[in-house]
Structure 1
């Protein structure tokens, strides 16, 4: 695969001179852990369905990473090849990334909610050589889905299945049989395989797809330098170190889980604790049993954990900090969580393209966690401008631009969409305002994306599908507020003359097109016509306002 990470070279000299780029890779960090604390517990991964927990010391983790790396090489994976992975927060996720890094391959994490429609695009666009899936997760057969995609993926050579068994023994295409079982690291050519193609700090190491407004996902390219440029100051601002235990229940196929649950603990020589399915009671037990000190997740996780602590009257004395991102934090929730859990609540805002951008500080008043989205991390600048690109004064809402040392290398094969000017300013597509202390508040999104429980819903793609429904003449998707998930999606539709449409019919239609369940609208408004501008553009603000009024009156 040829990677066009065109945004790396122009800022390399300055980033090195300023100390933002550390010229290290995850290989360097893992090797340092093995040298300095080989027998320290590095990873605990719990599967909620059967209650099993798998643990690795740093020495064991490095050995398994080497083993999987040689196994990938045996499957034909080489430097700059893409390995896609659609796993929940299992130990195989962490170890596969470390293995890819050993041989210069690029990991492409994919959310487990994706189905045939999303996967066929992403796997073809990335020219992925290997796909790793669970056999079953939450009742869905991923192996069967991949078998159905078959010849539509010409670049894909192998599908490895975690949990694939035949008569109680690993099947021929199981993760264990192909990668983690045989002691590949002991074979004669293993050392040469593990050293000849190690990536440099500016090589693409992660390819992560983000839903946008163009009708198809965009592949965000990151290097070790861009990822570590965010992780290092983030950890410093949060006062994290080798003594911390980090719980990650947010999916590692999101930047939140990947950067701060997979990579950051290794950089800190700390310990990561993974949970694959969010169950607040299980999370509560995990925090207590593992001595968790820090976690990061969307607001809904904080809501659930605070309620569980209150209901069970079970304290979590080791947990110091809960960082919330993905949706605004309601003021009453901060007050309740502070009282119930006794932790510091930190508000953050960020993007797949650059990780965390702004954070509230640990010594800030609690109020700042629900009235702002924080101030920029070191190495990050923010600017609010009007439509004429003129900087706006404090308190005025406008387009939010960000210039960050952790900014991505560009969108794979979509460099025209990079939205970054010659001075490095990235147009986030969000609307925001700055306060007198330099803290930002996201006040809306100019890009047409709904965030449901921290998950972006690709509005344009869903609308395009609705237009194909034989009973629908026009359609628009808008957000409506939800106390638990932040937002949910509502479909506003205009039926064709003489036709009838209801929500069950829309749900069935979208599912027949293999749309992820989280992307399906959960509310329907049937209209005679959509509100539009004189030029014909749908006025979604009017739809949102009408929807809020309707919800408030019922």
Structure 2
């Protein structure tokens, strides 16, 4: 694969001179860990459904990564080839990435919730040579799905299946075990040459990750070791994380959250990570206490579940120091409840696949910052809020959020025309935000999610935040629907809490009691059992817009 990561070279000299690009790769970090702390716990992977627990020290992890790396070359994988991976948070995920890095291959992580439509696009666009899937996860047969897709994918040479067995119950010939982990490939005469001749530089592409699809067709985001490391290092410093801090990662590693802070960060810190493949709050509490977890990062529903379960079980999580919450606004009541019940610091953050975490609140910030803002920039990150003409706006005014960061991606694969980055390196995030006098931002919506009702912009995020504060509301999203007279009107789509209900009249009365301007109050209410979302908890508003548009067409017909 030829990677058109055109956004990297122009900023290399400045990023190196400023100390943000360290010219280190995960190979350097793993080799250092083996040299300095080979017997330290590195990875504990827990399968919730089976109870299986697998543990690795740094030496064991490096040894097996080398074995898998040589095995991949036996499948024809070489430098800059794409290895696609559709696995939950299993140890095979981490080890496959480390193996790819040994031989200069590029990992394309794909969410385990994806099915034929998403996979056929990503595997064709990325020209994956190998794809690795589970045989079965949560009752779904991934092998059968890939067997059906393979004839449509001319670049795909191998489908490797974790847990596939033959008629005798032994690892099948195409299994991950038979191809990559059982043969002692690292003892082959050519193993050392294989493991060293194509080691990537810190500017080579190391990850191809497709955007999560909150706005439609995904785009392939290209990252180098320099871009991801320049985010992880200041992130860990701000959160005061070190080698002694065990990390729990229950957010999918196929999402940037899990990949950067559950796979890469622990190795950079030389710390211990605990992987949980299916989120279950009771199991999470058990792991936090058993493994003395100090830090975790996930979206708001995870924090809600953890807080409610700890409270209901009259238990505690004394080792947990920090819960970083991202992906959706954190309701005020939840921060207050979590602080009281869990005794942890709640940190708010905002970021994208294109640049990792961009902003976070600080550990010494008052709690109010976690629910009133999305944080301030990490070191190496510049932000500005501009109007439609590109003019920078003063504090307090909402506009387009632009980011110039050491961690900005290298571009979208095969789509440089969509890179959204100007000659000065400013990336258009597609988000709307306002910035306060202290440099803290608040995301106010997506540029595509703006609702313009009769020429008046509706403050979508503010209305959603008010809905979240209603005692009956568990999830909320405000989206437009077409209107002949006004152009657009707003509809509130909500999921109510168990045993609760909400009517349109009750919503309007509540909004009026909150002193909301009449033109900002949603003119429809739709109560649903669930909202379409990505695995990281981001609501897919484009699907809600499509649903409302279709409902409007049916009514008009």
Distance 1:283 1:133, change over 3 A: same
Q: Secondary structure at the match of 1:293?
A: strand
Counting only pairs closer than 5 Å after superposition, residues 152-301 of structure 1 correspond to structure 2 as 152-166=152-166, 167-211=168-212, 215-301=216-302
2:49 is paired with a residue of what secondary structure?
coil
In 1, distance between residues paired with 2:105 and 2:552?
53
Q: Report Cα offsets for 1:156-192 as digits up to 9, x if no partner.
A: 0001101111232111111000111111001111000
Alpha-carbon offset, residue 217 of structure 1: 1.1
Distance 1:519 1:138, change over 3 A: farther
Q: Please name the residue that 2:59 is paired with.
A: 59
For the structure 1 residues 60 and 433, does the alpha-carbon distance in structure 2 shift closer, same or farther, using more than 3 Å as the test? same
CA distance in 2, matches of 1:520, 1:169: 43
Partner of 2:296: helix, strand, or coil? strand
Quote the residue 1:412 is aligned against: 413
Encode CA deviations 1:14-56: one digit per residue, 9 max, x unaligned: 0000000000000000000000000000000000011111000
Alpha-carbon offset, residue 291 of structure 1: 0.5
Corresponding residue for residue 480 of structure 1: 493
Change (3 A) 1:222 1:478: farther
**How big is the shift at 1:212?**
5.1
- DSSP 3-state at the match of 1:447: helix
**Cα 1:41–1:173 shift into 2, 3 Å:** same
Asked if 1:361 corresponds to 2:374, the answer is no
In the TM superposition, residue 480 of structure 1 has moved relative to its aligned partner by: 3.0
**Does the aligned pair in 2 maintain the 1:89–1:275 contact within 8 Å?**
yes
Question: Residues 230, 479 of structure 1: CA spacing in aligned structure 2 closer, same or farther, 3 A cutoff?
Answer: farther
Name the CA shift for 1:440/1:250 in 2 (closer, same or farther; >3 Å). Answer: same
Instruction: State the distance in 2 between where 1:136 and 1:110 align.
Output: 16
Paired position in structure 1 for 2:119:
119
> Which structure 2 residues correspond to residues 24-173 of structure 1 after superposition, within 5 A?
24-166=24-166, 167-173=168-174
Count residues with an aligned counterpart.
486
**Superposition pairs of residues 411-450 of structure 1, within 5 angstroms:** 411-447=412-448
TM-score, normalised via structure 1 length: 0.83
Change (3 A) 1:521 1:428: closer
- What's the RMSD between the two structures over aligned residues? 2.9
Equivalent position SS for 1:125: helix
Aligned match of 2:347: 346
Cα distance, 1:527–1:30 mapped onto 2, change above 3 Å: closer
Q: Distance in 1 between matches of 2:8 and 2:555?
A: 43
Deviations 1:274-311 (A, max 9, x none): 00000000000000001100000000000000001001
How far residue 435 of structure 1 moved from its aligned partner, in angstroms, is 0.8
> What SS class does the counterpart of residue 42 from structure 1 fall into?
strand
CA shift at 1:527, angstroms? 4.7
Helix, strand or coil at the partner of 2:128:
coil
Q: TM-score, normalised by structure 2?
A: 0.83
Query: Which SS does the other structure have where 2:391 is aligned?
Result: coil
> Equivalent residue for 2:312?
311
Once the 2 structures are TM-superposed, how far is the Cα of residue 478 of structure 1 from its aligned partner? 7.8
- Flag structure 1 segments of 5+ consecutive residues without an equivalent: 464-474, 485-502, 508-516, 533-554
Q: Using a 3 Å threshold, how does the CA distance of structure 1 residues 124 and 174 change in structure 2: closer, same or farther? A: same
Which residue matches 2:523? Answer: none
Partner Cα separation in structure 2 for residue 309 and residue 255 of structure 1: 27
Post-superposition offset of 1:388: 1.2
Kept after mapping to 2: 8 A contact 1:212/1:448: no
1:150: how far off?
Answer: 2.4
Runs in 1 of length 4+ with deviation above 2 angstroms?
A: 211-216, 447-452, 475-484, 517-532
Q: Distance in 2 between matches of 1:309 and 1:232?
A: 31
Alignment match, 1:467:
none
1:463-496 C-alpha deviation (Å, 9 max, x unpaired): 9xxxxxxxxxxx9998735578xxxxxxxxxxxx
Aligned-partner Cα distance in 1 for 2:264–2:545: 35
| Aligned partners of 2:214 and 2:541 also within 8 Å | no
> Secondary structure at the residue paired with 1:165?
coil
The 8 Å contact of residues 380 and 403 in structure 1, kept in 2 or not, is answered as: yes
- Alpha carbons of structure 1 residues 483 and 184: separation in structure 2 relative to 1, 3 Å: farther
> 8 Å contact 1:213–1:447 — kept in the other structure?
no
Contact 1:213 1:448 in 2 (8 A): no
CA contact (8 A) 2:80 2:104 kept: yes
Closer, same or farther: CA 528–306 of 1 in aligned 2, 3 Å: closer
Task: Determine if contact 2:54/2:91 at 8 Å carries over to the other structure.
Answer: yes
In 1, Cα distance between equivalents of 2:415 and 2:288 = 42
- The answer (yes or no) to whether the contact 1:348–1:357 under 8 Å persists in 2 is yes
Distance 1:22 1:477, change over 3 A: farther
Whole-angstrom distance in 1 between the partners of 2:496 and 2:94:
32
C-alpha displacement of 1:412? 0.2
**Which residue in 1 is equivalent to 2:16?**
16
Please say if residues 372 and 439 of structure 1, whose CA atoms lie closer than 8 Å, have aligned partners that are also in contact: yes
Change (3 A) 1:176 1:518: farther
Cα distance in structure 1, aligned partners of 2:274 and 2:545: 33
Give how far 1:215 is off: 4.6
Kindly indicate whether the alpha-carbon contact (under 8 Å) linking 2:205 and 2:224 is maintained by their aligned counterparts in 1. yes
- Indicate how the Cα distance of structure 1 residues 185 and 479 shifts in structure 2: closer, same or farther if over 3 A, else same: farther
SS at match of 2:293: coil
Match in the other structure for 1:538: none
1:56-103, CA deviations, whole angstroms, 9 ceiling, x for partnerless residues?
A: 000000000000000000000000000000000000000000000000
Three-state SS of the structure 1 residue aligned to 2:199 is coil
1:42–1:271 CA contact under 8 A, matched in 2: yes
Partner Cα separation in structure 2 for residue 154 and residue 147 of structure 1: 13
SS state of the match for residue 56, structure 1? Answer: strand
Q: Does the 8 Å CA contact 2:215/2:541 hold for their aligned counterparts?
A: no
